[in-house]
């Protein structure tokens, strides 16, 4: 039965991601058609076609590799200055087809020319006024932003539903002078916390000061302590200095003397950035706090998520490199390393098949996992580099800006921005994305992350 639940979790997660991909592509297709553009294909997946159906001028279908999707909008690339129409023929259906003569003078030039020719080879005369590159700049932005915006909206509605009902649960110290819940025996690197102490691990300053669970901390270096947050900041700011700790045990006032040590620890509960700070080795008694909220609360929380996502995107290549090293056994895989859809499916399967998790918590974890993937996909696609949606958005914005400037300065219209000239960059970015994706998939198979507990 556990195996069946595991498969169910994987299927639910993968199915939800495929639905999200489909909705992402609808976010492109619907406004494109609304603005008069011609969409010839709408597919979920890549590779060989599993199923397709022609409806009007659009072919809808599913492909074998469920790692993305696409819509084919006619006329994404404008004709180049070095390309002139030199041949007009009639196809078997009686349609006039214009083919483009191309002149190649280098590898990148040829790549651009070939891509442009492939784009234009099957464009018919009646498509001339429906070409994507001829749309006003703001319409191009709407079309290209539609996909990732849908992903972010999916995440918003999932998060809103969870925050409004189940809420966000966090752990915080009990009010008042901190009562110690636990005292660490040895100093462990943050990434290794949870493992057993060895003879080589140094004892914590708390042990050297004689502290025990149940002790109430009343002062630190002569400063009266009123709560855990204050004590935490005093410890962190003490670095490796001497620490005189006042505390109560069974009603008796006692004093312990030690020296705090400097360790790399997270900046805060919400920021996993490691900072060198003073370390004592104690944990206060804590309570679970549940916070609920509506759409405004959700937007505020997603704002914080957006900041963390931007930071994660900035360090993504480094984290993927760390996963690659973990694959070959050079280091342990970090618990905060990125995962692919394979890793997400594994986590979903483990959640649903976990014996001790209540059904409500399983459902919440799955929803947050799906919402998190959608939020990341949306943010990732807004990166202003081709072939991502953000690259097309950036091109359209630049086109609108330079046309506006030309009008204000009474200059001739500079024309359309030629995104084809950025195709070499797109090929490099696509190659990097492919390699990173493969590394994460292999990592999720060889050194997978698992649920704690």
User: Catalytic residue positions?
Assistant: 25
Backbone angles phi, psi at 204, to 5 degrees: -75, 155
Through-space distance between the first and last CA atoms of the chain, rounded to whole angstroms? 20
Do 326 and 447 contact (CB within 8 A), yes or no?
yes
Q: How far apart, in whole angstroms, are the C-alpha atoms of residue 430 and residue 143?
A: 21
Instruction: Give the count of alpha carbons within 13 A of 182, CB side only.
Output: 5
Q: How far apart, in whole angstroms, are the C-alpha atoms of residue 358 and residue 378?
A: 30
DSSP secondary structure letter of residue 411: P
User: Among residues 296, 311, 233, 312, which one has the least CA distance to residue 267?
Assistant: 233
Do 368 and 361 contact (CB within 8 A), yes or no?
no
Do 43 and 69 contact (CB within 8 A), yes or no?
yes
Do 2 and 356 contact (CB within 8 A), yes or no?
no
Do 336 and 271 contact (CB within 8 A), yes or no?
no
């Amino acid at each position: 039965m556990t195996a069946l639940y595991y498969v169910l979790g994987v299927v639910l997660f993968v199915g939800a991601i495929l639905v999200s991909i489909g909705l992402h592509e609808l976010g492109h297709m619907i406004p494109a058609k609304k603005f008069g553009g011609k969409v010839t294909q709408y597919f979920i997946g890549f590779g060989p076609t599993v199923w397709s159906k022609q409806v009007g001028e659009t072919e809808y279908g599913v492909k074998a590799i469920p790692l993305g999707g696409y819509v084919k909008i006619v006329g994404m690339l404008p004709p180049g200055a070095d390309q002139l129409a030199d041949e007009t023929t009639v196809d078997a259906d009686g349609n006039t087809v214009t083919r483009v003569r191309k002149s190649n003078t280098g590898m990148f030039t040829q790549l651009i020319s070939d891509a442009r020719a492939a784009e234009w080879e099957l464009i018919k005369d009646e498509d001339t006024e429906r070409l994507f590159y001829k749309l006003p700049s703001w319409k191009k932005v709407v079309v290209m932003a539609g996909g990732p915006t849908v992903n972010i909206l999916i995440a918003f509605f999932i998060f809103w539903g969870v925050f409004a009902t189940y809420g966000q649960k966090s752990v915080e110290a009990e009010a008042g002078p901190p009562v110690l819940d636990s005292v660490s025996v040895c100093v462990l690197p943050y990434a290794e916390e949870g493992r057993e102490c060895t003879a080589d691990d140094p004892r914590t300053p708390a042990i050297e000061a004689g502290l025990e669970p149940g002790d109430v901390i009343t002062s630190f270096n002569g400063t009266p302590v009123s709560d855990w947050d204050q004590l935490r900041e005093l410890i962190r700011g003490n670095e490796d200095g001497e620490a005189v700790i006042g505390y109560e045990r069974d009603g008796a006032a006692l004093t312990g003397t030690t020296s705090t040590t400097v360790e790399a620890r997270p900046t805060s509960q919400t920021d996993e950035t490691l900072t060198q700070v003073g370390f004592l080795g104690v944990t206060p008694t804590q309570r679970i706090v549940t916070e609920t909220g509506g759409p405004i609360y959700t937007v505020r929380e997603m704002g914080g998520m957006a900041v963390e996502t931007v930071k994660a995107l900035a360090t993504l290549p480094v984290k993927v490199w760390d996963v690659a090293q973990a694959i070959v056994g050079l280091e342990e895989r970090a618990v905060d390393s990125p995962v692919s859809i394979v890793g997400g499916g594994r986590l979903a399967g483990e959640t649903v098949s976990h014996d001790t998790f209540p059904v409500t918590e399983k459902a919440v974890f799955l929803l947050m996992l799906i919402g998190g993937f959608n939020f990341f996909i949306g943010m990732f696609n807004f990166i202003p580099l081709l072939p991502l949606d953000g690259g097309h958005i950036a091109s359209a914005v630049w086109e609108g800006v330079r046309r506006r400037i030309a009008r204000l300065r009474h200059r001739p219209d500079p024309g359309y921005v030629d995104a084809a000239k950025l195709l070499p960059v797109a090929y490099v970015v696509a190659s990097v994305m492919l390699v990173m994706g493969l590394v994460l998939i292999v990592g999720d198979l060889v050194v997978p992350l698992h649920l704690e507990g």
